[in-house]
């Protein structure tokens, strides 16, 4: 059976060059990077070389990069430590953020760390209402703003430079969840005016369990994890050296060929969208589809109401098609997608998120369209 992987927003396959880089470290460098002897110093050099690679790509200082276990930890560290450092009592986010942001802020509100949590307006495509954001900042004391660069289910992009400028005008702390876009777009921290950016390596053909948090040098935050002097006393625990090296290599590869991959993957997204529109009656698309306003790796499709709608993904799976009904972090949830609910999507229509990478082909998408047509016809006419 043919297998087609279209769940790259959840995780991506490892690049072979990344595997080779990590394998070399696993085989030849086993010292603890905190040790002062030669074997430890060798490994410390690898970690610091990776930090310089990442900081150079982002136009940041090496001291602004802190390695983490991934995007969720980085989001938590930015939000919890940023709010604690400045005694902020008011936070602003949207109702379609990743659970790593949404649940963290709700818990801070529940625990009395913040007094108020405001939600900026969004439209039916997931676009932020920038005027409302400014209104919320104007009406409240100093705020912490957490808005993602690209929605992980819809693909809708937020204008980070615009948000950064608005936050700067009101002295707000700005955290941008860039998990879905790191390695897919250029992030120049000198231009963005963001205080925090995050990365999860497995979203850009790097390893799972590795990520980083960028912390603008203009602000200082306390650690979230205590227990050691690692990451310049900011994150206790022995470093995931293999993951850190793999992350840096994956980011290097992504930036080296970014424009070509953008064009190629966008062409795949357009191709699938056009074929589904033409050949599957009643499909619509969630989020922005304008290439300038939408992440080129994500296409969210709503299908007509059908019998056994909850079996749509299962039927695709048994035909060898790996896709998602929403955020991978919601798997197993029976309450549906909070993102689709947040934009007012029809709860009676099943939706599928197809997400692409440089390894996908048009031939795979032709197979997907044929199988989708069969599954939809069987269930709509049931």
Residues noted as catalytic: 329
| Closest among 1, 17, 65 to 252, alpha carbons compared | 17
Distances (CA, A) of 230 to 33, 239, 311: 9, 7, 47
CB contact set of 139 (below 8 Å; sequence gap of 6+): none
Ramachandran class of 116: left when φ > 0, alpha when ψ lies in -120 to 50, beta otherwise: beta
């Amino acid at each position: 059976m043919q297998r087609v992987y279209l769940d790259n927003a959840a995780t991506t396959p490892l690049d072979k060059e990344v595997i080779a880089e990590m394998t070399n470290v696993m085989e030849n460098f086993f010292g603890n990077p905190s040790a002062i002897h030669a074997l430890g110093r060798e490994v410390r050099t690898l970690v610091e070389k990776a930090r310089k690679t990442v900081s150079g790509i982002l136009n940041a200082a090496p001291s602004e990069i802190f390695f983490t276990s991934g995007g969720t930890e980085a989001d938590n560290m930015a939000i919890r430590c940023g709010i604690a450092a400045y005694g902020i009592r008011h936070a602003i986010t949207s109702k379609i953020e990743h659970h790593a942001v949404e649940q963290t802020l709700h818990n801070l509100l529940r625990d009395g760390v913040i007094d108020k949590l405001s939600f900026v307006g969004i439209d039916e495509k997931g676009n932020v209402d920038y005027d409302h954001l400014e209104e919320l900042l104007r009406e409240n004391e100093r705020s912490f703003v957490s808005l993602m660069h690209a929605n992980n289910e819809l693909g809708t992009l937020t204008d980070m430079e615009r948000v950064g400028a608005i936050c700067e005008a009101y002295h707000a702390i700005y955290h941008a969840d860039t998990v879905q876009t790191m390695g897919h777009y250029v992030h120049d921290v000198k231009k963005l005016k963001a205080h925090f950016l995050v990365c999860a390596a497995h979203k850009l053909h790097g390893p799972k369990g590795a990520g980083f948090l960028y912390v603008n040098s203009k602000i200082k935050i306390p650690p979230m994890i205590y227990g050691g002097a690692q990451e310049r006393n900011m994150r206790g625990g022995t470093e995931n050296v293999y993951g850190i090296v793999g992350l840096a290599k994956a980011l290097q590869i992504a930036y080296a060929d970014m424009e070509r991959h953008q064009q190629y993957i966008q062409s795949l997204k357009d191709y699938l969208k056009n074929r589904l529109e033409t050949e599957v009656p009643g499909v619509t698309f969630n989020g922005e589809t304008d290439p300038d306003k939408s992440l080129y790796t994500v296409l969210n499709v709503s299908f007509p109401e059908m019998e056994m709608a909850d079996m749509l993904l299962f039927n695709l799976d048994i035909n060898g098609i790996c896709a998602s009904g929403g955020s991978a972090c919601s798997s197993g949830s029976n309450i549906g997608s909070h993102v689709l609910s947040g934009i007012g999507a029809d709860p009676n229509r099943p939706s599928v998120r197809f997400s692409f990478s440089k390894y996908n082909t048009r031939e795979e998408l032709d197979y997907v369209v044929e199988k989708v047509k069969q599954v939809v016809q069987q269930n709509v006419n049931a």
